[in-house]
Amino acid sequence: MKYLIKHILFLLFLTYSSIFFSEGEHKIFDLGDFFLESGVVLPKAKLSYVTHGKLNKEKNNLIVVPSAYLGDHHGFDFLIDKGKALDPNKYFIVATDMFQNGLSSSPSNTEPPFNGPNFPLISTRDNVNAGYRLVTEVFKVKEIYGVVGFSMGAQQAFQWGVSYPDFVKKIVGIAGSAVEYPHGIVRLEGFISAIKADSSFNEGNYKYPPETGLRAGGAHWASWGWSQEWFRLKLYREMGLNNPLEVVSWFEDFVLTWDANNLIALARTWQANNIGNTPGFNGDYVKALASIKAEVLYMPSETDMYFHIDALTKEAQLISGVKLRVIPSLWGHIAGAGFSSEDVEFMNKEIIEFFR
């Protein structure tokens, strides 16, 4: 019980660290009948977002911060504050929530016929197109200063550069790729299968949360989120945990706070991610990445087991205006989530320099 309380307090700290700076009101942008890449029209589509800072007179200081998997618009709170990389005194920060994360249109909050397991497939480009409509229709900007994303948020950041090459000046992609490679697709399928194996899941038509399946899914994530060296050196103690099985319990408890259909739908979006499928590139991600005109700060984690450093380094080499900075961390994929003060310091310094 003692370590569980520590877990909860730690999560609350991450989620509500925004109390240390000024944050705008949580808002919903009504997209209306939103045309998806799949050809489906999602009725009454909604995009959730919050803002930090103010849009300047020239309307050229807006930075989009898309959410990550298992995250929301609070995901980069650790970099948003006076003097930090995302300084609300300098920039107008628009933190958006991906479709399917429970705040924007999702299986859990959409009316029939697209509720629950019937929610349509969302692509990375669908999320980016919704964000584009938000910043152009609500804030009336003709360009954005940058996009900063972690994990699935990084996927969106790269996609912004391909979908809207003359609209974005700078891109920061942290621990994320432009393409989901075969091994990642298999890893995500393992997570989906863990949830579906719970008989109470009932093909997504559950009356109560399929807790057994969600816990199994959490155990799956626990083995991938951090590096092997992180476990060997017992760095989990920095999270107030005492042994590897407490790490499993920590992730199980976290995944239990999510809706199962939302998680599966998000994972399907992740699996389908391929920047080469942008219209005009015929599946060629090499040409798609080469088309990016924005300056790019590419920041893989040295020990990431989701997005391997070799694959990300090769992607970076395909972008002309790229600055590759590897996060020298043992925290694996989680390095990009800001759990380690050393990782936060590294990212903060590199992004500040990049934005100069």
Are the CB atoms for 327 and 173 separated by under 8 Å? no
- For the chain, the farthest-separated pair of C-alpha atoms sits apart, in whole angstroms, at 56
**What size, in residues, is the chain?**
356
Q: Which segments of the chain are extended strands (E)?
A: 27-35, 41-52, 62-66, 92-96, 144-150, 168-174, 295-299, 322-324
Query: Residues 87, 97, 304, 343: which is the catalytic one?
Result: 304
Spatial contact of 335 and 212, defined as CB atoms under 8 Å apart: no
R_g over Cα of the chain: 19
Q: What DSSP element (H or E) covers 342?
A: helix 341-354
* Residue 252, amino acid: E
Closest CA to 168 of 177, 158, 176, 178: 158
Which position among 48, 67, 123, 151 bears the catalytic label?
151
| Residue 151 bears catalytic tag | yes
DSSP string, 301-324: BTT-SSS-HHHHHHHHTT-TTEEE
Q: How far is the CA of 289 from the CAs of 93, 155, 160, 173, 260, in angstroms?
A: 25, 12, 11, 13, 33
What gap in Å lies between CA 306 and CA 270, rounded to an integer?
A: 12
The pairing of strands 92-96 and 41-52 is antiparallel
Of the CA atoms within 13 Å of residue 118, those in its CB half-sphere come to 9
199 an active-site residue? no
Phi first, then psi: what are they for 282, rounded to 5°? Answer: 50, 40
Q: Could you confirm whether 74 is annotated as catalytic?
A: no
| CA 129 to mean position of chain CA atoms | 16
Q: Which of 7, 97, 333, 340 is catalytic?
A: 333
| Burial class (CB within 10 angstroms; exposed 0-12, middle 13-18, buried 19+) of 11 | middle
Residues with catalytic annotation? Answer: 151, 304, 333
